[in-house]
Structure 1
């Protein structure tokens, strides 16, 4: 009996020891694994809000509950926006993409928009049986897309470097889009939603044992956003420099402390950029096709010589610099460019070439996909340079200086000048025209003496009440959207042929429609950069406005719709901005700080 008792006790001890051993050898989850688990949990919560609260409210036709549950679901999405945008970019466009048709030109395919922004338009419109049926359909598509994320995420194995890159880009996204009202133009919930996005970033950092200072800085920013429920009241320039950039610096310090390397990012920013406004934040080589097109000092110098040479035109009487004057930020000061061969003026205004390399489409109608293609088109255009790159190559091969310059630049022992080399050298020079040397740049880089109160107020209006920043995305202030900079956008503004507000007409230039006759493209023109804008008057694709005051008045009225031009496809909001004269002058004061010094 005693022996059996001893044996039983011994067996129990062995069992306990074995269980403890198994328990103690269970692998502790890494921070990256914890982030993934947390994301799954937050995604499940979002699905629950959509499935149970939003869907129920729509079925009950409870308008108050519809809005409340919609805003709740949007806020929940923002908490995991960093993750979905980074790991599931295609699906993120279906969940929270812009409410405009996406046209795939190569496939002749039109994809109708779906997601939260489409829902917002339906919810805040006057309720009708038709739009509530459409809203119900949107919720069904949302459910499908969220389930897709769940399935895909099961297969993902994420790294620390990817997570830190994702939250780095999310802070940039908040900077450029989140506080401008970009994806909530009707509900105007961008500030509390930006707070929700920062909450998601904070939750990630807790898994990496972020210090109290960093967590407190995020909490301060969240509180500030939540205390500014009035969309127009936030001092955005101080919020960016004093809060968001502080958070970015803290994230970068933590990454380095943990010896986590940067990863190859999908953004056109340098992988280690801590601020979009820092000097050399952009990697220009990410805007070209492959390594053979990377910039070099030799290519830039050769391109500059070609840019100023008349050898590219068959008549030997025109160069690129004939229409793009350095003193005017490489514009020409004319309403539309001067033409050749009996054409006194061309169809469109000559745009600045500064920062042209930091975009994904060229010409006002986006007909060229690269700067090399743009150079080809301009040289061969009958009324622009009336040239031929093949003939130009022959002339350059017979020149005294150019053959050796091409040989040194392209390391080509044959000294053979080709059309492609000419195009590429010109494109390289244009890509170099992005100095980021304005008063605004210096201010954002830490010199707080650069901007006066009027100029800072102008930035706040530009990014807030004026809604300029929701199309001219900081820090480039063109239509290439932050923080990835992978696509350049065009807008339908309803620009008139003459600078008047009586009997205004849109003119005969149909923009992108002339190349691709989709109704959505009628009167659509590329959103150009506002950098150096004070030097590049007159304005708009047709040069209709001589002053920035006229431009601001046009936008303040609601674009073409505000002056009597009715376009069903106008993408600019037709609602008047209600800016005072003083506020418009403040915006202009800010715009002038974008001139390179």
Structure 2
């Protein structure tokens, strides 16, 4: 009997070891090296197109061949965009970054733009000796940057976890940027290039044994893009909800099936988010400095008390809520904010700028219209100490608070110990934590994107498609936040030069006197530049623009439709908004406004 038991145990051990070996063999046979080799091959094709097609077309002064080879190169780049953006983000900016100067304020450095988007502007404008020489320089830079990627990639070891994260973020990138005209504003090749990006993802998934259903789903999405007659014709709402979101879900399902863990990357997206519009897609913790600053319910409650209390102002006469009214989506309804006269605190004066909403403010990388603050904590510090706003002192406020038993109990509850007295930093942080909580993501647009197809009517749907397409609003107000913090990395908040007038006239328009970021950092590129604010709840935050010049959304749409400041007669060399008219009809503008109203929480 003992012999039989020993044999049974022996076979059990052999069976277990064999099964474990099979499991480990599956887990230890990652597709990463094959994906890396595939990228190398696709990168080699791109280098060949740049060197073997684009450069000869330029040398031959063959304009038709030049455009054809450029579009071929762009399409090939899109095939590997998922990999390039994830593993080489700094070089990706040099290859396909926005055609605007990059200014490093701390280093007093101005980086000239380079890459495909600069090439596009040069190729599609009337050829002359100067711009063709500039184009030749751009091709040389592209060659060097692609060679650098090839060298670096040879030294990289990549994981399956990273690859699935890269594909996930690429689907988000297509959703928010790829179908909006963001990186091809002149050639308007967004749709075929989005198809190329999806095709690149499909090729990677085949290396992981993706089932035919997923491949077929991607093929259908690609077909929809190719069948659209032109840039304006795509039903982007349907494309996102019926194709991109389902592709993302299927990729995530495959990841789980292969027992590949999510990875904590550099994006502000939650590690396991599979849709831009899901409730918890963005992780607010990624917008704070470190784990000690993570939000808690107790800190939020304390911050709300501080926000609505006049304890922060030395005169005890103003609070944050004095200018940010919850009933008005945390704005005040005034053209510009109301402040205090420094010589007579009992008198009110009009401040320089409009009061922006605080809703979704926590999902930004810069604060105030001129982006002078790098965090919400810094913003609180500035406002409390501003002589015309609250005329307070965080140090004095902390002293007042620490003499009050109700306040001290609230601080102990929020910060954990009996010794947790109020101090300037805790006050700043509690206020910032409360503001970070003001992001319900509960609009009818959100609900529609999550599957409730009854939430939007036909006018609102058409408005979304115009916003993300013909009107090009989505190329500056990035989904899902609809502000200037670009998806899917959410690493930087953008400012734009729109040419906002000082008065609402379209005849003899004059630029507003406020010079925006230039007043703090006098670079010519920053003159009249202001932060791109969120459009969520925009129907409740009138009047509009940094100076409150426009009373209605109709006036705002008319301004954009004409081409911004340049379109109403102003000459601004550094205007970043396209000066080309959008050619929107009155009906189309009303449809866009209907969509914007559906962004109310």
Q: TM-score range by the shorter chain?
A: over 0.9
Q: Which of 545, 548, 565 pairs up with 1:543?
A: 548
By how many angstroms is 1:414 displaced? 1.8
By how many angstroms is 1:183 displaced? 0.1
By how many angstroms is 1:29 displaced? 6.6
2:476 counterpart of 1:476? no
SS state at 1:540 partner: coil
By how many angstroms is 1:343 displaced? 5.1
Structure 1 counterpart of 2:241: 241
Distance 2:276 2:404 in 1: 43
Distance 2:512 2:31 in 1: 58
Structure 2 counterpart of 1:300: 300
Distance 2:103 2:229 in 1: 36
Alignment of 1:315-330 (within 5 A): 315-330=315-330
By how many angstroms is 1:408 displaced? 1.5
By how many angstroms is 1:507 displaced? 2.0
Contact 2:30 2:159 in 1 (8 A): no
2:253 counterpart of 1:256? no
Q: Mark the runs of 5 or more structure 2 residues left unpaired by the alignment.
A: 1-24, 342-346
SS state at 1:103 partner: strand
Distance 2:477 2:30 in 1: 40
Distance 2:508 2:388 in 1: 32
Structure 1 counterpart of 2:94: 94
Contact 2:331 2:356 in 1 (8 A): yes
Structure 2 counterpart of 1:486: 491
Distance 2:398 2:510 in 1: 44
Structure 1 residue runs of 4 or more that deviate by more than 4 Å after TM superposition: none
Structure 1 counterpart of 2:382: 377
By how many angstroms is 1:387 displaced? 0.5
Distance 2:198 2:475 in 1: 20
Structure 2 counterpart of 1:349: 354
Structure 1 counterpart of 2:75: 75
By how many angstroms is 1:407 displaced? 1.2
2:408 counterpart of 1:391? no
Structure 2 counterpart of 1:447: 452
Structure 1 counterpart of 2:598: 593
Structure 1 counterpart of 2:281: 281
2:169 counterpart of 1:178? no
Q: Which of 544, 551, 554 pairs up with 2:559?
A: 554
Distance 1:552 1:266 in 2: 35
Structure 1 counterpart of 2:217: 217
Structure 1 counterpart of 2:531: 526
2:407 counterpart of 1:410? no
Structure 1 counterpart of 2:19: none
Contact 1:461 1:587 in 2 (8 A): yes
By how many angstroms is 1:591 displaced? 0.1
User: For each residue in 1:47-67, what CA deviation from the matched residue of structure 2 results, as whole angstroms up to 9, or x when unmatched?
Assistant: 000001000001111111100
2:438 counterpart of 1:433? yes
SS state at 2:76 partner: helix
By how many angstroms is 1:265 displaced? 1.6
Structure 1 counterpart of 2:204: 204
Structure 2 counterpart of 1:12: none
Distance 1:320 1:29 in 2: 57
Distance 2:348 2:591 in 1: 40
Contact 1:359 1:488 in 2 (8 A): yes
Distance 2:570 2:583 in 1: 19
Distance 1:488 1:213 in 2: 38
Distance 2:29 2:310 in 1: 66
By how many angstroms is 1:205 displaced? 0.3
User: For each residue in 1:265-298, what CA deviation from the matched residue of structure 2 results, as whole angstroms up to 9, or x when unmatched?
Assistant: 2111100000010011110000011111101000
Distance 2:152 2:371 in 1: 34
2:271 counterpart of 1:266? no
Contact 2:30 2:160 in 1 (8 A): no
User: For each residue in 1:76-119, what CA deviation from the matched residue of structure 2 results, as whole angstroms up to 9, or x when unmatched?
Assistant: 00000000000000000000000000000000000000000000
**Structure 1 residues 501 and 474, CA gap change in structure 2 (3 angstroms):** same
User: For each residue in 1:367-411, what CA deviation from the matched residue of structure 2 results, as whole angstroms up to 9, or x when unmatched?
Assistant: 000000000000000000010101111111112311111112111
By how many angstroms is 1:229 displaced? 4.1
Contact 1:191 1:229 in 2 (8 A): no
SS state at 1:383 partner: coil
Distance 1:195 1:425 in 2: 45
Distance 1:201 1:374 in 2: 41
Structure 2 counterpart of 1:573: 578
Q: Mark the runs of 5 or more structure 1 residues left unpaired by the alignment.
A: 1-24
Structure 2 counterpart of 1:499: 504
Structure 1 counterpart of 2:371: 366
Distance 2:214 2:406 in 1: 57
Structure 2 counterpart of 1:19: none
By how many angstroms is 1:413 displaced? 2.9
SS state at 2:350 partner: coil
Of the structure 1 ranges 340-349 and 52-61, higher mean CA displacement relative to structure 2 is found in 340-349
- Aligned residues between the structures: 571
Distance 2:376 2:560 in 1: 30
Contact 1:343 1:383 in 2 (8 A): no
Distance 1:386 1:131 in 2: 53
Distance 1:228 1:37 in 2: 33
Distance 2:425 2:299 in 1: 13
**What's the TM-score once normalised by structure 1's chain length?**
0.95
By how many angstroms is 1:534 displaced? 0.3
Structure 2 counterpart of 1:7: none
Of the structure 1 ranges 336-345 and 495-504, higher mean CA displacement relative to structure 2 is found in 336-345
Structure 2 counterpart of 1:190: 190
Contact 1:162 1:263 in 2 (8 A): yes
By how many angstroms is 1:416 displaced? 2.1
Contact 1:96 1:116 in 2 (8 A): yes
SS state at 2:103 partner: strand
Contact 1:267 1:484 in 2 (8 A): yes
User: For each residue in 1:123-162, what CA deviation from the matched residue of structure 2 results, as whole angstroms up to 9, or x when unmatched?
Assistant: 0010000000000000000000000000000111100000
Contact 1:192 1:229 in 2 (8 A): no
Distance 2:212 2:557 in 1: 45
Structure 2 counterpart of 1:5: none
RMSD: 1.1
Distance 2:303 2:364 in 1: 19
